[in-house]
Structure 1
Amino acid sequence: MKFTLSWLKRHLDTESPLDDILAALNSIGLEVEGVEDRGATLAPFRIGYVVEAVQHPNADRLRACRVDVGDGTIRSVVCGAPNARTGMKAVVALPGSVIPATGVTLKAGEIRGVKSEAMMCSARELGLGEDHDGILDLPADAPVGTPYATWAGLDDPVVEISITPNRGDALSVRGIARDLAAAGLGTLRPFAPEKVPAVYPSPLRWVIEDAEACPWVLGRAVRGVKNGPSPQWLQDRLTAIGLRPINALVDITNWFTFDLGRPLHVFDVAKVKGDTLWMRPGREDESYLALNGKEIAVTPQDCVIADADGVESLAGIMGGEHSGSDAGTTEVFIECALFDPVRIALSGRRHDLRSDARQRFERGIDAALLPDALEAATAMIIEICGGEASEVSSAGTEPAWQRQASLRFGRIAGLGGADVAPDAAVGILERLGFGVVSRDAEKVTVSVPSWRNDVAGAGALAQAPALDAAKAAAAAEGCAQVEPECDLLEEVLRITGLDRVPAVSLPVSSPVPKPALTPKQARATLARRTLAARGMMDCVSYGFMDSRIAAKFGETPETLRLLNPIAADLDQMRPTPLASLVLAAARNIARGYPDVALSELGAAYLDASPDGQAAVVSGIRTGATPRHWDAPARAIDAMDAKGDALAVLLALGVPMAALTVTADAPGFYHPGRSGQLRQGPKTVLARFGEIHPKLREELGLPGAAVGFEVFLDAVPEPKKRKKSVPDLPSFQPLRRDFAFLVDAVVPAESLVRAARGAERTLITDVALFDRYAGEKLPEGKVSLALEVTLQPREKSLTDAEIEAVGAKIVAAVAKATGATLRG
C-alpha cells in the first residue's frame, strides 16, 4: 500500500515529522517497506537566474555564465549546455550538493581558466528523466532562490507499507490515518460528505439475482459531464503511488479505491443496453473484453454485472471495455456495491485477474460506507467534470454487520504482557472507532465498527444471528466468556506499540529438551546427508511438470492436473521426483556439463486422496564417475544407482540381509538393467537402474544415465534397542572362499542367501567377490565366487569343524540353486 505524506494529511491533522510517522507505523504493525523522498534528495538544488551567458574565452563549446541563486551573490558558472542563455531560469547545484544521477559531490573549481562555483543541471542529472540535451529551462515566473523540489511539488514523500491479509481497512489512506491518530500522532479529520441533490430520475436500475455474492448495491448517474484529463493534483497523487492517470472519471474511481478503500466503477450510460443492470451468476459460453484487453470467459460460479446484451463486468474485480468511459462520455452511472469476499477471491484466482478492487473486496470492505462513498464520488465528479446528479438507484439491503466484543482488563497484562491502564485501553479502542457499550472495573464491552471485519471473527458480510447462535451454544456449555477478546487485546497492544511488549521466554517443559526433529524428519535429513556424502548435489524442484513428460514416468490422473498452472508446461503433479531430476540433468548436459549427480527428497503424487502423496528420495547420475587417484573415470552403470539406494537404506537402519532384488522395475527404466529392492515379497523399498534408452533420447540425455528412488514411507523405522555391551568376540574370524558353477540365469543373490543360512551360529557375512564366464566353462554356465566369514565364539574351530561347515554351505547352495562346487 502506497501513499504520500500530503495525502495522509488530508485525513490526519498532524505536525509530526516524517521520521516519527514512519516509526509509529512500524510500531503499530503497519510495517514500512520503503520511503521515496525526492524532496530530501533535491533539497540543495535552487532556482537560479542567468544574469549573463557569454562565450567561454578558451573553449568553443562552453559558456561562461553569471548566475543569481537568490542569496545576494552572483556566481560564476561554466556550462556546456547548448541552451544556456542570458535571462533564463535554471536549477542550480551549489558546492557540496550530491548529483542524484552520478552520486558525485560537487566542488568549486576552474574550467579552462574560468572559475566555476556552481552547476546548472539537466533532467537526467537530477534523476527526473532521460533528457540530457540541455539544462532544465524553467518558466519565467519561477521564484529565484526557492528550493526546486518545493516549487516543482517534489517534496512530498511516498511511503509504502506492508499490509497483513486481515487488515483490509488499512488498504486505505483513511484507515492508516485512523491508526496513527489512535497512536497519538494527530487527530483524525471528520468524513461526512454532504448529500448531492438529485435533479432527475436514474436512467438505470439494479436487479440482484445472486444475493449471496452481492447483498447490496447502490448506483447513481451524473449527466452533462465533460471527461478529459484529471486535475494536476489528482494526476500527481496517482502517479506518485504508481498508477497511470487515464481520464478524469477513471482517475476519480482510483482515488476512492486508495483514499477510502472503497472501489467504484463507472459505466457510460449511452453504452449500456436497456435500462437495467443485473448482479447475476455468469452463464456458460458468456465472455467479455476486460479493461486489461483480455477476453474473459465467465462461469456460473462468477458474479457478473450484465445489461440486456450480456456481461459488462466481472463484479468486484475488473470492468469491461465496452461500457467504459472515454472522451465522448457525457453521462455516467456510478456503481457502489458490496461483495462476498470468498466469491471475489475464487473468481480472481479462477481467471488469474489481479486488481486493486479485488485486493480490497477479498479482504472485506466497510459494509456501511456505501451511501457516503457514493455521495463523495458524485460530488467529486461534478466538481471536476461538471454535470448534475440523478436519484440513487439501489437493490438489496445493508447486511447486519453489527456485533460486540469484550475485553477483560486483567488479560492485557496476563496474556499480552504489557502494563496498560484500563482508561488507556478504552481510549485506544474509542480512537479506533469502537463504541463503548458498557464498562465496569473488570472489563469493557464495545461495539465493533463496520470497517473492522477482522475483529470478532466476522467477515465483510457477518450476520448478527450467527454470532448470537454461537453465544447461545457457548452459554449452554457453561462458558462465561464467549466474545473474542484476543482481537481487542491485539488492538490495545498494537497501538500501545508492539516494540514495547516485553520479550518473555517460553516456560521450560522439562530439564531435557525434546528432540527438535521428529523421527520422520530426522530420517529425511539423514538420507539427504548420505547422498551428499556420496557426491550428489541436493536439489529442490517444482512438484509439478509437463503432463506429457509426467505420463512417461507413471500414471497421470486428471485429478492431479492443475487448473491454473504457473506455466503451460507445468500443469501436472509429478508421479516421481526422478522425473524432475531427469529434466534437470538434461538441462545441465545441454549447457556443457555432462557429468552430473543430482538428488532430491520430494513428493511423488499418486492420486488426489490424503494418502496419495509419498515421500521419495531420488537421484540421477549421468556421464562418467569422477576421476580418482587410484582409478580412472568410467561410464556409470546400474550398479552405481543400486549402490546409492543401498547406502540410503543402510543409513536408515534397514538390514541388508533382509533385502531381495527383483527385476520388475517400471517401464521408464532399462528392462534388463534395473531392479527393485524389496523387504519381503510385497514391500518395495527402492528401485534403481538405467533410464530407458528411448526415454533418454526423447528427453535429451545422450549418454548413460542411471537413477534410483527410495520410498521413505515404506522403510520401516528401526526397532528401539537398549544400549548393551558391544559384541567383541574373543576369537579371530575365519574366511573361506567357495567358487560355484551355476546356470547364468540364476541370481547371485540366491547363492549368497543360501550360504548365509547354512550355519547361522557361525556365519556372520557372505560376499560375492568374483563372476566369470567364458573359456573352459560349459555354455550357459558362470562361475560365482563367495567369501564366507566364520566367527567362532566359544573356542577355536578345528579343521574338521571347518570342513563340516564348508560341506553345509556347499549342500545348501546346491539345494537352493543347483550349483556345483568348482574343482
Structure 2
Amino acid sequence: MKFTLSWLKTHLTTDADLPTILKGLTNIGLEVEGVENPAEKLAPFRIAKVLTADPHPQADKLQVLTVDAGDGALQVVCGAPNARAGLVGVFGTEGAVVPVNGMVLKKTAIRGVESNGMMCSFRELELGEDHDGIIELTADAPVGQVYAVWAGLDDPVIDVSITPNRQDCMGVRGIARDLAAAGLGTLNPIIVPEIIGVGVGPDIRIEDADGCPAFFARTVKGVKNGASPEWMAKRLKAIGQKPISTLVDITNYIMIDLGRPLHVYDLATLKGPLTARRGKPGEEVLALNGKTYTVDETMTVIADDEAVHDIGGIMGGEHSGATECTTDVLIECAYFTPERIAVTGQKLALTSDARGRFERGVDPAFLDDGLSIATYLVTELCGGTPSEATRAGTPPVADKIVTYEPSQCFALAGVDVAEDEQRQILESLGFGVEGNDATFSYEDGMPVTTPANWTVKVPSWRRDVDGWPDLVEEVVRIVGLDQVPSTPLPRAPGVAKATATSEQLVERRVRRTAAARGLAEAINWSFISEKEAAAVGGGEWTLANPISEELKVMRPSLLPGLLSAARRNMDRGAASVRLFELGRRYFTGKERATASFVLAGEKVARGWQTGKAQPFTAYDAKAEVIALLAAAGAPVANLQSFGEASAAYHPGQSGTLRLGPKTVLAEFGLLHPSLAKQFGLTGPVVAGEIFLDAIPAKRASGFMRAPYAPPALQPVKRDFAFVVDEAVEADALVRAVRNADKKAIVDARLFDVFAGPGVDEGSKSLAVEVTLQPGEKSFSQEELDAISASIVKAAEKLGGTLRA
C-alpha cells in the first residue's frame, strides 16, 4: 500500500515530521517497507533556459544549444526536435545520474562538439512516458532552481505492508485513522456530498446474492472524458499508478484513498439490465488487461443480456470500459463476498488492486457514500447529469457487539492502560463504547471495587474483530507494541522437568539417526497438487481456499515433496541425493506422524577403484528403514517382512515391515518407474516411509532400567541349511528358527540361498546362522543336541528338511 505524505495529510492534520510518522506506523503494527522521495534523485536537475540553438556542423538531427542553468552559459548537444531558443526546460548538470537508466552525465564530445550535460525528457526523469522531446516549462519558471522543488515533487512516497486482517488500512484514510488514534494528529472529517438525481436510476439486478449481496449504481449522462486534473494524476503517478482518463482515474483514486473499489461502464455498450449473476460454462470476457478469461458457475460476474462485462470485484471488461468517446456512464458500487473473490482470483490466476481489497473485505456500509463521492467527482471533473441511485440487494451490515472489561488488557498483554485511555483509543478507531467504568465504594467499612463492564460496538470496516482479545490487541498496538514489557516466565526452583512428549523424543532420535547415517533433512510444504496426491494414492483433505492450485491437497504421503526436492538437486548437478523428512500425513479425521526418505543417483561414485557407478537398491532402503525403526524404539527383532507395498513402489522390489499381518510399521523399496518419471527422475530411485504412530509405545514400568550386564560366557554359533519349497519366505524360516528356543537362541540370520545341483527342482536351500547364548554355565553336548532338534522341528513345520 503506497501513498504520499501530502496525500496522507489530506486526511490527517498533523505537525509530525516524516521520521515521527514512520516510527508511529511501525509502532502501531503497520510495517513500513520503504520510503522514497523523488526529489532526492532529481536534486541535480535544475530549471534552465535555452539561449541559442544552432545546427550541429556534423549531424543534421542534432543541435548545439547554449543553456543557462543559473551558473552561466553552457554548451550542450541535443537531439530533441522541440529544442529551440527561448525554451525553458530541465537540465542535468555534469555528475547527475539519469533516473531512467542510471547513466552518469559527464563532459563529452558528440560528433566533435563538446557537450556539458543534458536537457531532459519526462521519461528520462521517470516522470511520465513522453519521450518525443525535452520538457517544456512555463516561461516564468525560475531559472537555476532545483526542478523537483519548483514542481512540488518533494513529497515522500511511503510503502506500508498491510497484513490480511487489516482491510481497513487498504485506503489512505484508514491509515490516517490509526495515526490519529496514536496521537499523531487529528482525523479530518470525511465529506460525503449530497447528490440530487434527475430521473430514474439504471436497471440493475442480483441473481447471485451469495457472491454479490448488494449492488448499487447510478448513471451520469453528458460527461466529457479526458485527461485527469493535475492534482489527481500527480498523486496516482507518485505511487506507480498510470493515469488513463478522468473516469478511470476517479475509480482508482477512490479505491486507494478510501479503500472502496468501483467500476465505470460506458452506458452505450450495455444491452438490457446489468445483472450480478454466476458465470455460465464457456462464457468468456476480454478483461482490461488485454487477456481473455473463461468463467464458470463458481464465479460472480456482471453481465447484460448479451455478454459478460465484469469479473465481479476483480477486473472489468474491455468492451464496456470508459474511453475518450464515452458520453454516458454507469457507476457501479457493489459488495462482493471475500470468499467468492478469493476462489475466482485463484482459479483465473488473476490479481488486481480491487481483488486485494474485496478479498480482505471492504466496508459493506460504505456503498451509498462511496457511490455519492464517485458521482460528485465525475460530475465535477467531467460534467454531466446524475440519475437517482438504484439499490439492489442489502449490504451485509449487522451490529457486532463485544463484551469487554478494561482489566483484560493487562491480563492478556501485560500492559497497564488506564480505562479512560482505553476508551479514547477504541472510540478514535471507530468503536462505540458504552457501559460503566470501575467504581469504588465501602461496605461495612471495607473497600469494594466493582470492575468496569463495557459493551463495544465494532465498526463496519473491521470484520477482523470478533472478541475481547481483538480489542486488547487494538489498545496495545495503538499504545505502541514497543510498550509491551519483556517479562520472563516464572521459573520454579529445582531441576527443570522435561517438557518434550514421548512422541517428540521419538522424532528427535529418528532425526539424529537419519542425519548420522548421511541423510540430509528436507522440510516441505504440507500441501501438494491434486496430480501429485493422485500419484501416491490420492488425498482426502482438499482445501476450499488454497493459496494456489499447486498447494491444494493436504499430503497423504511425504514422498511427493521429497521427490520434487530430489529432482531439483539432481537438476543442479548432484550425483547422489539422500534426503529425509519428518512430518504429518493427512487423512480424514486424523494425522499420522511419519518419517520418510528418498535415495537417488549414485550410491557409490564411479572411479578407478569401483569401475561403474553403483545405484541404490531396495536393500539399501530396507537397511535405512530398519535403522530408523530401531531408533524409534520399534521391536526390530520381532518384525515380519511382507511384500505388499503400496502402488508407489515397484512390484517385486519392495516390501513392508509389520508386527503381525495387520500392523504396518514401514514400507520401502524401489520406486515405481512411472512415479519416478512423473517427478522427472531417471535411474533407480529408492524410498521408504516409517509410520511412527503405528509403533507401539513402551510400557512405563515405574522402575529404573537395570544396568547393562554383559554375559560372562562366549556365545555359540551353529549353521543350519534347510531345503524348503521355493514359495517359502526366508523371513518366515528365520523367525521360526529364532522362536524354537527363546531362552537360548538370541539371534538368527540368513546367510545363504542356493538353488541348483543337489537341490530338487521347485525347492531352494536356505542357510541360517543361529547364535546361542549360555547363561551361568556352558552348554553341554546334550543341551546343544536338544536345541538343534527343536530348530529342525520348527523348520519341519514349514515343510523344511535338514540338508544333507
TM-score w.r.t. the length of structure 2 is: 0.83
The corresponding residue for 2:483 is 500
The corresponding residue for 1:610 is 589
Shift of 1:625: 3.0
Preserved contact between residue 375 and residue 386 of structure 2 (Cα < 8 Å): yes
1:42-71 deviation digits (Å, cap 9, x = unpaired)? 3344334466899999xxx9999986543x
Code of the residue aligned with 2:482 in structure 1: it is D
The corresponding residue for 2:220 is 222
Preserved contact between residue 637 and residue 706 of structure 1 (Cα < 8 Å): yes
Q: 1:242 to 1:717 in 2, by over 3 A?
A: farther
The corresponding residue for 1:468 is none
Q: Of the candidates 620, 642, 652, which is equivalent to residue 662 of structure 1?
A: 642
The whole-number CA distance in structure 2 between the counterparts of 1:791 and 1:119 is: 96
The corresponding residue for 2:748 is 766
SS of match in other structure, 2:16:
coil
The whole-number CA distance in structure 1 between the counterparts of 2:781 and 2:122 is: 98
Shift of 1:798: 4.2
Preserved contact between residue 751 and residue 816 of structure 1 (Cα < 8 Å): yes
The whole-number CA distance in structure 2 between the counterparts of 1:592 and 1:412 is: 56
Q: 1:595 to 1:23 in 2, by over 3 A?
A: closer
Q: Of the candidates 534, 537, 540, which is equivalent to residue 517 of structure 2?
A: 534
The whole-number CA distance in structure 1 between the counterparts of 2:734 and 2:521 is: 34
Of stretches 304-313 and 247-256 in structure 1, the one that deviates more from structure 2 is 304-313
Shift of 1:15: 3.0
Of stretches 384-393 and 528-537 in structure 1, the one that deviates more from structure 2 is 528-537
The corresponding residue for 1:453 is 462
Q: Please give the residue correspondences for 1:533-572 in structure 2 after superposition, counting only pairs within 5 Å.
A: 533-541=516-524, 553=535, 555-556=537-538
The whole-number CA distance in structure 2 between the counterparts of 1:190 and 1:309 is: 43
The corresponding residue for 2:578 is 597
Q: Of the candidates 628, 631, 653, which is equivalent to residue 648 of structure 1?
A: 628
The whole-number CA distance in structure 2 between the counterparts of 1:701 and 1:485 is: 53
The corresponding residue for 2:738 is 756
Q: 1:404 to 1:98 in 2, by over 3 A?
A: same
SS of match in other structure, 1:620:
strand
The whole-number CA distance in structure 2 between the counterparts of 1:145 and 1:228 is: 34
The corresponding residue for 1:474 is none
Q: 1:635 to 1:30 in 2, by over 3 A?
A: closer
Q: 1:102 to 1:265 in 2, by over 3 A?
A: closer
The whole-number CA distance in structure 2 between the counterparts of 1:8 and 1:132 is: 28
Q: 1:751 to 1:427 in 2, by over 3 A?
A: closer
Preserved contact between residue 711 and residue 775 of structure 2 (Cα < 8 Å): yes
SS of match in other structure, 1:369:
helix
1:651-692 deviation digits (Å, cap 9, x = unpaired)? 111122211112333455443333221211212222223345
Q: 1:737 to 1:130 in 2, by over 3 A?
A: farther
Shift of 1:333: 1.8
Q: Does the alignment pair 1:724 with 2:705?
A: yes
The whole-number CA distance in structure 2 between the counterparts of 1:243 and 1:790 is: 84
The corresponding residue for 1:262 is 260
Shift of 1:134: 12
Shift of 1:23: 0.9
Q: Does the alignment pair 1:688 with 2:671?
A: no
Q: Does the alignment pair 1:417 with 2:414?
A: yes
Q: Please give the residue correspondences for 1:170-569 in structure 2 after superposition, counting only pairs within 5 Å.
A: 170-198=169-197, 200-209=198-207, 214-274=212-272, 276-280=273-277, 288-292=285-289, 293-299=291-297, 302-309=299-306, 311-349=308-346, 351-396=348-393, 401-402=398-399, 404-405=401-402, 407-435=404-432, 437=434, 439-441=436-438, 443=452, 445=454, 448=457, 450-454=459-463, 457=466, 484-508=467-491, 515=498, 517-541=500-524, 553=535, 555-556=537-538
Code of the residue aligned with 2:16 in structure 1: it is S
The whole-number CA distance in structure 2 between the counterparts of 1:434 and 1:14 is: 22
Q: Does the alignment pair 1:166 with 2:182?
A: no
Q: How many residues align?
A: 784
The whole-number CA distance in structure 2 between the counterparts of 1:291 and 1:125 is: 24
**What's the Cα RMSD here?**
4.5
Shift of 1:123: 6.4
The whole-number CA distance in structure 1 between the counterparts of 2:368 and 2:531 is: 54
SS of match in other structure, 1:718:
coil
The whole-number CA distance in structure 1 between the counterparts of 2:677 and 2:294 is: 40
Shift of 1:391: 2.2
Shift of 1:440: 3.7
Q: 1:337 to 1:596 in 2, by over 3 A?
A: closer
The whole-number CA distance in structure 2 between the counterparts of 1:52 and 1:312 is: 55
Code of the residue aligned with 1:794 in structure 2: it is E
1:735-768 deviation digits (Å, cap 9, x = unpaired)? 3231414236243333422332233222222233
Code of the residue aligned with 2:594 in structure 1: it is A
The corresponding residue for 1:4 is 4
Preserved contact between residue 632 and residue 692 of structure 2 (Cα < 8 Å): no
Q: 1:494 to 1:596 in 2, by over 3 A?
A: closer
Shift of 1:287: 5.7
Code of the residue aligned with 2:259 in structure 1: it is G
Preserved contact between residue 555 and residue 585 of structure 2 (Cα < 8 Å): yes
Shift of 1:201: 0.3
Q: Please give the residue correspondences for 1:579-590 in structure 2 after superposition, counting only pairs within 5 Å.
A: 581=562
Q: 1:758 to 1:219 in 2, by over 3 A?
A: closer
1:577-609 deviation digits (Å, cap 9, x = unpaired)? 44555566567667765543343445556x6x2
Preserved contact between residue 533 and residue 553 of structure 2 (Cα < 8 Å): yes
Preserved contact between residue 162 and residue 169 of structure 2 (Cα < 8 Å): yes
The whole-number CA distance in structure 1 between the counterparts of 2:136 and 2:471 is: 54
Q: 1:775 to 1:63 in 2, by over 3 A?
A: farther
Shift of 1:146: 1.6
Shift of 1:125: 11
Code of the residue aligned with 2:43 in structure 1: it is A
1:69-120 deviation digits (Å, cap 9, x = unpaired)? 43xx438x6867667998665655668877767989999x9999x9x99854
Code of the residue aligned with 2:655 in structure 1: it is G
Preserved contact between residue 729 and residue 793 of structure 1 (Cα < 8 Å): no
Shift of 1:417: 2.9
Code of the residue aligned with 2:630 in structure 1: it is L
Preserved contact between residue 201 and residue 390 of structure 1 (Cα < 8 Å): yes
Shift of 1:791: 2.4
Shift of 1:513: 5.0
Preserved contact between residue 121 and residue 135 of structure 2 (Cα < 8 Å): no
Code of the residue aligned with 1:643 in structure 2: it is A
Code of the residue aligned with 1:10 in structure 2: it is T
Preserved contact between residue 94 and residue 117 of structure 1 (Cα < 8 Å): no
The whole-number CA distance in structure 1 between the counterparts of 2:417 and 2:181 is: 15
Unaligned runs of 5+ in 2: 440-451
The whole-number CA distance in structure 2 between the counterparts of 1:67 and 1:205 is: 61
Code of the residue aligned with 2:13 in structure 1: it is D
Code of the residue aligned with 1:453 in structure 2: it is R
The whole-number CA distance in structure 2 between the counterparts of 1:415 and 1:586 is: 47
Q: Please give the residue correspondences for 1:80-91 in structure 2 after superposition, counting only pairs within 5 Å.
A: 91=90
Of stretches 571-580 and 527-536 in structure 1, the one that deviates more from structure 2 is 571-580
Preserved contact between residue 265 and residue 331 of structure 2 (Cα < 8 Å): yes
SS of match in other structure, 2:389:
strand
Code of the residue aligned with 1:740 in structure 2: it is A
Share of identical aligned residues, percent? 44
Unaligned runs of 5+ in 1: 458-483
Q: 1:132 to 1:743 in 2, by over 3 A?
A: farther
Shift of 1:10: 1.5
The corresponding residue for 1:636 is 616
SS of match in other structure, 1:684:
strand
Shift of 1:224: 0.7
Q: 1:508 to 1:351 in 2, by over 3 A?
A: farther
